[in-house]
Structure 1
Amino acid sequence: MRVTCFIRYQIDPFQREAFAAYAAQWGRIIPRCGGRLLGYFLPHEGTNDIAWGLIGFDSLADYEAYRARLRADPEGRDNFALAQRQKFILREERTFCEAVPGTFAPS
C-alpha cells in the first residue's frame, strides 16, 4: 500500500449513529470495489463532529479505478444516496498521504 486516502468528515453530532451505520456499510463495499479499508473512526471525546475514514491503494491510478467501480456499484450508490437524504455529513475533505517507512502498523 503506497497511498492512503484520508477522508475527514464533519458530521452532524446528533446523527452520529446514522454516520456509524453509513460507515459500516462501506466495510463490505470498499473491499469489493478494490480499496483496502483501514477503518472508519467516530469522535469519542473532545470535538464531537469530526470523523475519519482511511482507505489504502497501491497508486493514485488504482484509486481512480476504485472510484469508477464505486460509482457503478448499486450498494455504493445507495449508501451515497442515504447520506444525501439524511444529511448527516456536513462536509468532506480528502487528502492523499504516504506512510513513513517503519511507522505504519509496525509489528
Structure 2
Amino acid sequence: LQRYAFESLGRALGAQAKRTPDAIALRCEEASLTYAELDAWSASLAARLVARGVGAERRVGLCVARGPALIAALLGIIRAGGAFVPLDPDYPATR
C-alpha cells in the first residue's frame, strides 16, 4: 500500500505538469520551480538512479540543503522506487 502511494505521487506530479506546466510548483526564498521543471528534474534523477540499480528495498543517502534541489531529489528517489536516508549537510564530514 505504501509503495503504491509513493508511485501515485510521481504520477500526480506528471499529470499536474501536463495540466499546468508553467505554474509555480514550489518556492523557497527567491528560488522557484514550475511543475514542468520539477517534473523534468525529478524524472531525470529517477532515471539515473534506476540505471545505478536503485529500486525497491534500496536506500539512497540524501545530503542536500533545504531548497528546490532537496524536493526534486526526494521526488526522484521516490520515483525510482527507492527510500531516502536524510543526512544533514551541516554535520561534520566525519559523521
Higher relative strand content:
1
Higher relative helix content:
2
TM-score interval, normalised by the smaller of the two chains: under 0.3
Query: TM-score under structure 2 normalisation?
Result: 0.25
Query: TM-score under structure 1 normalisation?
Result: 0.23
